[in-house]
Protein backbone atom coordinates (compact mmCIF):
# COMPACT_ATOMS: atom_id res chain seq x y z
CA UNK A 1 0.00 0.00 0.00
CA UNK A 2 2.84 2.36 0.81
CA UNK A 3 4.39 1.79 -2.61
CA UNK A 4 1.11 2.50 -4.35
CA UNK A 5 0.66 5.72 -2.36
CA UNK A 6 4.22 6.84 -3.14
CA UNK A 7 3.73 6.09 -6.84
CA UNK A 8 0.45 8.02 -6.90
CA UNK A 9 2.04 10.92 -5.01
CA UNK A 10 5.00 11.00 -7.39
CA UNK A 11 2.88 10.83 -10.54
CA UNK A 12 0.16 13.28 -9.50
CA UNK A 13 2.60 15.65 -7.82
CA UNK A 14 4.82 15.68 -10.90
CA UNK A 15 1.92 16.27 -13.26
CA UNK A 16 0.65 19.12 -11.06
CA UNK A 17 4.11 20.69 -10.89
CA UNK A 18 4.65 20.50 -14.65
CA UNK A 19 1.15 21.79 -15.32
CA UNK A 20 1.64 24.71 -12.92
CA UNK A 21 4.98 25.61 -14.54
CA UNK A 22 3.39 25.48 -17.99
CA UNK A 23 0.52 27.69 -16.83
CA UNK A 24 2.98 30.24 -15.45
CA UNK A 25 4.80 30.34 -18.80
CA UNK A 26 1.52 30.74 -20.70
CA UNK A 27 0.38 33.48 -18.31
CA UNK A 28 3.68 35.35 -18.72
CA UNK A 29 3.30 35.14 -22.49
CA UNK A 30 -0.25 36.46 -22.22
CA UNK A 31 0.84 39.46 -20.17
CA UNK A 32 3.85 40.13 -22.41
CA UNK A 33 1.87 39.88 -25.64
CA UNK A 34 -0.90 42.08 -24.31
CA UNK A 35 1.16 44.90 -22.80
CA UNK A 36 4.52 44.77 -24.60
CA UNK A 37 3.39 43.75 -28.08
CA UNK A 38 -0.06 45.31 -27.96
CA UNK A 39 -1.63 42.21 -29.54
CA UNK A 40 -2.99 39.78 -26.95
CA UNK A 41 -2.64 36.11 -27.75
CA UNK A 42 -5.96 34.46 -28.45
CA UNK A 43 -4.87 30.99 -27.36
CA UNK A 44 -3.69 31.79 -23.85
CA UNK A 45 -7.02 32.49 -22.17
CA UNK A 46 -8.53 29.12 -23.08
CA UNK A 47 -5.27 27.32 -22.35
CA UNK A 48 -5.15 28.87 -18.89
CA UNK A 49 -8.81 28.14 -18.19
CA UNK A 50 -8.54 24.48 -19.13
CA UNK A 51 -5.19 24.11 -17.37
CA UNK A 52 -6.55 25.55 -14.13
CA UNK A 53 -9.50 23.15 -14.26
CA UNK A 54 -7.19 20.14 -14.58
CA UNK A 55 -4.74 21.49 -12.01
CA UNK A 56 -7.48 22.16 -9.45
CA UNK A 57 -9.05 18.72 -9.74
CA UNK A 58 -5.73 16.86 -9.73
CA UNK A 59 -4.65 19.01 -6.78
CA UNK A 60 -7.83 18.07 -4.93
CA UNK A 61 -7.01 14.39 -5.43
CA UNK A 62 -3.44 14.99 -4.23
CA UNK A 63 -4.69 16.86 -1.15
CA UNK A 64 -7.03 13.95 -0.40
CA UNK A 65 -4.07 11.61 -0.38
CA UNK A 66 -2.00 13.89 1.83
CA UNK A 67 -4.84 14.47 4.28
CA UNK A 68 -4.48 18.23 3.88
CA UNK A 69 -7.94 18.86 2.48
CA UNK A 70 -10.26 21.19 4.31
CA UNK A 71 -11.90 19.53 7.30
CA UNK A 72 -13.60 20.45 10.55
CA UNK A 73 -11.52 18.71 13.22
CA UNK A 74 -13.33 19.77 16.38
CA UNK A 75 -15.59 16.72 16.82
CA UNK A 76 -12.82 14.30 15.93
CA UNK A 77 -10.31 16.00 18.24
CA UNK A 78 -12.70 15.84 21.19
CA UNK A 79 -13.59 12.17 20.62
CA UNK A 80 -11.47 9.29 21.84
CA UNK A 81 -11.08 5.60 21.07
CA UNK A 82 -13.49 3.91 18.71
CA UNK A 83 -15.63 7.04 18.28
CA UNK A 84 -12.61 8.95 17.05
CA UNK A 85 -11.72 6.21 14.57
CA UNK A 86 -15.29 6.18 13.22
CA UNK A 87 -15.25 9.97 12.83
CA UNK A 88 -11.90 9.76 11.02
CA UNK A 89 -13.38 7.18 8.65
CA UNK A 90 -16.36 9.39 7.79
CA UNK A 91 -14.26 11.80 5.73
CA UNK A 92 -12.84 9.21 3.27
CA UNK A 93 -16.25 7.52 3.03
CA UNK A 94 -17.88 10.88 2.21
CA UNK A 95 -15.16 11.52 -0.38
CA UNK A 96 -15.88 8.16 -2.01
CA UNK A 97 -19.62 8.83 -2.15
CA UNK A 98 -19.03 12.32 -3.59
CA UNK A 99 -16.45 11.10 -6.10
CA UNK A 100 -18.71 8.34 -7.41
CA UNK A 101 -21.92 10.39 -7.54
CA UNK A 102 -20.61 13.74 -8.74
CA UNK A 103 -17.17 13.36 -10.25
CA UNK A 104 -17.43 9.99 -11.97
CA UNK A 105 -21.12 9.63 -12.84
CA UNK A 106 -21.69 13.35 -13.40
CA UNK A 107 -18.35 13.77 -15.13
CA UNK A 108 -19.02 10.89 -17.51
CA UNK A 109 -22.38 12.42 -18.37
CA UNK A 110 -20.71 15.80 -18.91
CA UNK A 111 -18.08 14.20 -21.12
CA UNK A 112 -20.77 12.48 -23.15
CA UNK A 113 -22.62 15.75 -23.73
CA UNK A 114 -19.52 17.89 -24.29
CA UNK A 115 -17.64 15.45 -26.51
CA UNK A 116 -19.61 16.67 -29.50
CA UNK A 117 -18.42 20.25 -28.94
CA UNK A 118 -15.11 21.89 -29.76
CA UNK A 119 -13.63 24.76 -27.79
CA UNK A 120 -13.97 28.05 -29.68
CA UNK A 121 -10.29 28.95 -29.95
CA UNK A 122 -8.15 25.84 -29.43
CA UNK A 123 -10.64 23.59 -31.25
CA UNK A 124 -10.07 20.72 -28.80
CA UNK A 125 -12.97 18.45 -27.91
CA UNK A 126 -14.60 19.72 -24.72
CA UNK A 127 -14.81 16.11 -23.58
CA UNK A 128 -11.07 16.34 -22.84
CA UNK A 129 -11.74 19.19 -20.44
CA UNK A 130 -14.62 17.34 -18.78
CA UNK A 131 -12.44 14.22 -18.51
CA UNK A 132 -10.78 15.94 -15.55
CA UNK A 133 -13.87 15.10 -13.45
CA UNK A 134 -13.86 11.29 -13.71
CA UNK A 135 -10.05 11.15 -13.67
CA UNK A 136 -9.89 13.09 -10.41
CA UNK A 137 -12.84 11.07 -9.09
CA UNK A 138 -10.99 7.80 -9.61
CA UNK A 139 -7.86 9.23 -7.97
CA UNK A 140 -9.85 10.54 -5.00
CA UNK A 141 -11.47 7.12 -4.56
CA UNK A 142 -8.07 5.40 -4.72
CA UNK A 143 -6.58 7.78 -2.15
CA UNK A 144 -9.68 7.50 0.06
CA UNK A 145 -9.47 3.72 0.04
CA UNK A 146 -5.78 3.92 0.96
CA UNK A 147 -6.66 6.37 3.74
CA UNK A 148 -9.39 4.05 5.05
CA UNK A 149 -6.97 1.13 5.14
CA UNK A 150 -4.40 3.23 6.98
CA UNK A 151 -7.01 4.46 9.50
CA UNK A 152 -8.23 0.90 10.12
CA UNK A 153 -4.64 -0.26 10.66
CA UNK A 154 -3.82 2.77 12.79
CA UNK A 155 -0.95 3.72 10.50
CA UNK A 156 -2.36 6.92 8.98
CA UNK A 157 0.11 9.73 9.66
CA UNK A 158 -1.66 12.96 10.52
CA UNK A 159 -0.44 16.16 8.91
CA UNK A 160 1.17 18.46 11.42
CA UNK A 161 0.01 22.00 12.09
CA UNK A 162 2.36 23.49 9.50
CA UNK A 163 1.01 21.18 6.76
CA UNK A 164 -2.55 22.18 7.67
CA UNK A 165 -1.64 25.87 7.67
CA UNK A 166 0.08 25.64 4.30
CA UNK A 167 -2.81 23.73 2.76
CA UNK A 168 -5.25 26.37 4.06
CA UNK A 169 -3.30 29.05 2.17
CA UNK A 170 -3.34 27.07 -1.09
Would you tell me how many other CB atoms lie within 10 Å of the CB of residue 120? 9
Closest to 119 (Cα-Cα) out of 57, 68, 67, 45: 45
Stated pTM of the model: 0.85
Decide if 126 contacts 117 (C-beta within 8 A): yes
Sign of the C-alpha dihedral computed for residues 93, 98, 103 and 109 taken in this order:
positive
Give domain limits for the chain.
Answer: 2-169
Decide if 41 contacts 30 (C-beta within 8 A): yes
What integer is the mean pLDDT of 1-9?
91
- The helix/strand/coil state of 116 is coil
Name the band, by pLDDT with cuts 50, 70 and 90, for residue 49: very high
Amino acid sequence: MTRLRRLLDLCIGSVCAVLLAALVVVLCWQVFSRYALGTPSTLTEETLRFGVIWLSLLGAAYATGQGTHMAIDLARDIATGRTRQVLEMLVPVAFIVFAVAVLILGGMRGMEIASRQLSPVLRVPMGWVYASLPVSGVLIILYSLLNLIDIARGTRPRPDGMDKALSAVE
